[in-house]
Each structure stands twice: as structure tokens, then as C-alpha cells.
Amino acid sequence: MKTYTNIPAPDKKIVTTYRELLEKMVDSRPDMPLISLLNYKTNEKKNIMPAEFLHSVDMLGRWFAAHGCKRDNVAILADNSYEWILTMFSVICSDNILVTLDKGLEMPSLEYIIENSDSKVLLYSAAFAEKAKTLAEKYGLDLYAIEDISQFIAQAEELPDNGKIETDCDAPAILMYTSGTTGLPKGVILSQKNTLSNLQYAAMQDDYSGDSVYLLPLNHIYGLGSALLITFINRNTVTINTNMRYMMNDILAGKPEILFIVPLFVQTLYNAFRKFLKAKGLADKIDAMIAENNRKGNVTAAEKRAMFAEVLTFFGGRLSRIVSGGAPLDMESCNGFADFGITVLNGYGITECSPVLAVNPIVNNKPESVGKVIKSLEVKIENPDENGYGEICAKGSSIMMGYYKNDAENAKSLIDGWFHTGDKGWMDDEDYLYICGRIKNLIILANGENVSPEEIEGFIYQQIKAVAEVVVYDKNGHITAQIFKNDDYIQENGIEDAENYIRDAISALNLKLAIYKRIAEVEFRDTPFDKTTSKKIKRIL
């Protein structure tokens, strides 16, 4: 077993700024749509061409400059939309820093991030108007509705042209908050070069090209980086889903050749497909064909896709690869897709690595691994045990610049240029990585969301005084709170059925939490938790 790999970057020029990337799109694929959007009411498609997009990026950038934005932190709290993508490119290309806000976050976390990030401007979409106004008043932000962007562009077209705005590819460009193990989110600073080098090298790993449908929230690095930018880098068209309700409409209209999604989507799409086959009365016939293919053993993926072409129109008819990342892959749906000739490629990324660390190639795909370490990165397994299991650490051009205003975390995570991922893993002789646990205390959900148990425990301690001690943990994919009751408080306040009282309080708390952070199960214990010598709860249950 290996504990170190250093796969050199190919001798190929890469682009290092977002504007350069767009200029390349304009030159190399002027007539191919960059972005496609489906009107869910009329079912009409609108295509955005590269030159049109670059013009809008420049104009919106000019508008930001005219409003005094220069190296300012510009936050965005919005649903997926074309305007979101336009804002991202414009903020970065006009030499400002994009602060991405998770739209599912509860108010206290949003307030913390806005304050911690020193944001000056906030762009929001209609659904978040109320939250945005509250934030703007409290923190003195300039507030703009993303729906008004076309007006801003029109205004900018009337402004004098002061030439192209130059940006430094090594300067901070994106500030993205990730769950911290202390309960407070940490701002990951990424430069343009961080993300662009990472994704260009990841794109060279194998053929991940093809038209795609974007299904993930834009504020997530995996979605933003991989699903969006890799499609741009590979010179294909990406159809943007702006409402999860119409996911299948986008898939049918966008006819993806490749999808970049999280395991929850892999599973949901596969289940929906099986349900469709059942409803059509085809399940038995198809299962028999699959069994026959498995018996033969030498049927290629392309032959399977041809054999099942009629039913694969469920996914638009062109899908051949799915890249899955953000959480452990469900092998049942992975194998299920393989039966139809659709290869699921497991990968591994982390915001701090901009994000891809490893991804499986199509040939020699090892789905139980998270793939081969991408070119340009050095990866080592630190302090391996007798099995070769240790902490995965990475070094290279895509490692973050650091955590924003967080020297303590920087000192812990970045040591001699090595980023310590907090994930435990091992590496085989062919540079494939395998994840076998976590050193950091985070819950990773199937949708790729990382949840800090300490953050949720903090909310419980603040709001439910009848709880003396609590440990939040992942129980078979469900966020579970194990509680030791505060008998003194319960007696003093004459609470009769303490367990019901606490359950009700947890339900009330859930309503205030982001959906993915909600506590699904409550357990009670009769004794306090074991403690360390420094009186911290030992989290092993």
C-alpha cells in the first residue's frame, strides 16, 4: 500500500482567470450555447451564447465598479438562476470577492457569516427578501435584488467604458463557508487559480465531457466547480435547473451526456427510473435482459445503452456517465445504473481543495474507491496505522489560501503547505484513494451537506434548558440527539413528562433549523456521558 503520491501536472497551458476562461469560450465555441434555461411554463428553451454571456459579465462588472466595488466582499443569497451564475462571474471578473451563502441556513448562521465575512454588498432573490433586508439593516449592507440584474446591465451600457478590469489570479476570489468542527462555520478563501487549476486538471483525468444538466445548489463548491465549470472547460452546454420540482423536465430538455451529482440524487434518479419501468410494465422483461447480460459477462456499457435505448429516454437518451461526489456512494444504485450501461464514477472533493482531490477514470473505474488522485496534487496518508489507514493530506495549486480570519484553524489545518482533510483513508498501488472514516467530527449526509454536531448541540443547549448534556451523531443517515436530562431544571419548573417536553422543544427547534440540519431522532440516557480529563464529553457512544 502506498502512503504518498505526486502525479505531475501535464505540460499543458491552463487558464487562470475566469475572464480568460470566458474569452476562450467565445473564441473556441462561438456558436455553441454555454448555458441553457428551460421555461417551465411554456417548455421553451433559452440559450445563452458565450459572447452574450461575456458581454453581460463585463457590463455587470462595470456596474459593480461604478458602485464603488473594488476588492469588496459581495455576498449572494439566492435560488439557482442564470443571474446567480452571472453574478458570480461578474463579481470575480470585476476584482471583487464572492461570498456564497447557503440558502437553507437559519438566520443566526447567516448573520454570523455576513459579519465574519465583512460583506459590503448583498444580492438576493425574491424568496429571501425578508432575510436579506434584515441582514442589510443589521450590517449596513448595500442590497440589490438579483431579479433587477438586467436593469443594472442596461444602466452599465450607458456608462463610459474604462477598459477591461484586470484581476490577480492568486488573489482571493471566492469566500465559501463550510461547517466547522467547533460549531462555527469557517470561511474558505479560494483564488481564481485554485478553482480553475483544480478543475482543468480534474477534467484531464478522463473524458468527463458532454452536455450536462446542473442540479445542485450553486452555493456548493462541488456543484459550482465540477458540474458548472467542468462543463464550461469541456466546451459543452449546461442546462440549469432552477426549481427542483422540474428536475426531470430539465433532464428531458437538456438530454445530458454526463451528470455531476451527489449520492442522494444518484439514488433518487435510479429509484424513479425503476418506478417508471414498473409503471410501464417493463420491469420483469428488463430484469431478465439484465440477468442474461450478467450471465454473458462481456456486454459493454455501450452495448447495454443501445439495448436499453428506448427506456433510457427517461434520462433524455444520451446519458452515459454520472460523477458522484460529496458523500459516500450507494452501491446498489451505482450497480443498478451499470446494468443499463451508465457508469457511475465516484469522486472525492473538499471545499478547501477547490474541490476535487480524486475521481475515478472511466476505464479502470473502481467504484468502491473515490478514484485516482488528480494530476498536479501531492497526496499523502499521514501517520498510517498497520492497515495503511491515516489522515489524507494534500498539497498543490488548488489548496485554499486559508480560512478567513481564523489563524487557529489555519495553524491546525495547513502545516508546511499540507492541507489536513480530517478524512481517514488509504491509497492503493495505483494511486486510487479510499475513504474509511473521519478524524474531524462532522456528519456527512447523502446530499453532500456537512453538518457540525457541535453546532446543533449548541442550539439545543441555548434553547432547551431541560437538557443537561447532549451528543448529536449520525445514526444510519439520520441526525440523532442523545440526551441526558437536566433533572434540577425539570423539577424546579414542575415539568411532568420531561421526555415529551424535550421532544416538543426539539420539534420547535427543528423548524428554525436548515432542513438538512434537523434532528430526526431523540434518545434519552440515564447517566451522564463519559468525560475527558478536561471535562469534555467523549463523543464515542
**Residues at the contact surface with other proteins, assessed by CB under 8 A:** 127, 243-245, 247, 264-265, 268, 272, 446-447, 478, 507, 510-511, 515-516, 518-520
Nearer to other proteins, 247 or 311 (CB): 247
Q: How far is the CB of 477 from other proteins (least distance, A)?
A: 9
Q: How far is the CB of 243 from other proteins (least distance, A)?
A: 6
What number of other Cβ atoms are within 10 A of residue 210's Cβ? 18
Which phi and psi (to 5°) does residue 306 adopt? Answer: -65, -40
429 burial level (CB within 10 Å; 0-12, 13-18, 19+): exposed
Which residue in this structure is represented by grid cell 480568460? 20
Residues 395, 389: Cα–Cα separation, whole Å: 19
Residue-by-residue DSSP string for 289-317: HHHHHHHH----HHHHHHHTTTGGGGGTS
Give Cα 391 distance to the centre of its chain.
Answer: 22
Q: Which amino acid is at 390?
A: G
| 3 state SS of 419 | strand
Q: SS3 breakdown of the chain: % helix, strand, coil, rounded to 5? A: 40, 25, 35
Q: How far is the CB of 40 from other proteins (least distance, A)?
A: 9
Residues 73, 175: Cα–Cα separation, whole Å: 8
Residues 181, 193: Cα–Cα separation, whole Å: 27
Nearer to other proteins, 245 or 295 (CB): 245
Nearer to other proteins, 195 or 447 (CB): 447
Could you give the count of Cα atoms lying within 13 Å of 487 in the half-sphere of its Cβ?
A: 5
Nearer to other proteins, 397 or 452 (CB): 452
Residues 391, 250: Cα–Cα separation, whole Å: 39
Nearer to other proteins, 441 or 510 (CB): 510
Residues 407, 511: Cα–Cα separation, whole Å: 34
Q: Is the dihedral of CA 59, 234, 242, 198 positive or negative?
A: negative
Q: How far is the CB of 510 from other proteins (least distance, A)?
A: 5
Q: Which residues contact 268 (CB under 8 A, 6 or more apart)?
A: none
Nearer to other proteins, 46 or 478 (CB): 478
Q: Which residues contact 356 (CB under 8 A, 6 or more apart)?
A: 198, 199, 202, 225, 226, 325, 347, 348, 349, 374, 398
Nearer to other proteins, 391 or 449 (CB): 449
Nearer to other proteins, 325 or 425 (CB): 325
Q: How far is the CB of 148 from other proteins (least distance, A)?
A: 20
Q: How far is the CB of 456 from other proteins (least distance, A)?
A: 12
Q: How far is the CB of 323 from other proteins (least distance, A)?
A: 18
Torsion, CA 309, CA 313, CA 317, CA 320, rounded to 10: -80
Q: How far is the CB of 303 from other proteins (least distance, A)?
A: 31
For residue 519, give Cα distances in angstroms to 317, 507, 513.
Answer: 39, 8, 9
Nearer to other proteins, 231 or 447 (CB): 447
Closest CA to 112 of 191, 181, 189, 179: 179
Cα-based angle 145, 150, 151 (whole degrees, multiple of 5): 80
Nearer to other proteins, 422 or 448 (CB): 448
Give Cα 120 distance to the centre of its chain.
Answer: 24
Nearer to other proteins, 436 or 515 (CB): 515
Nearer to other proteins, 370 or 446 (CB): 446
Q: How far is the CB of 213 from other proteins (least distance, A)?
A: 15
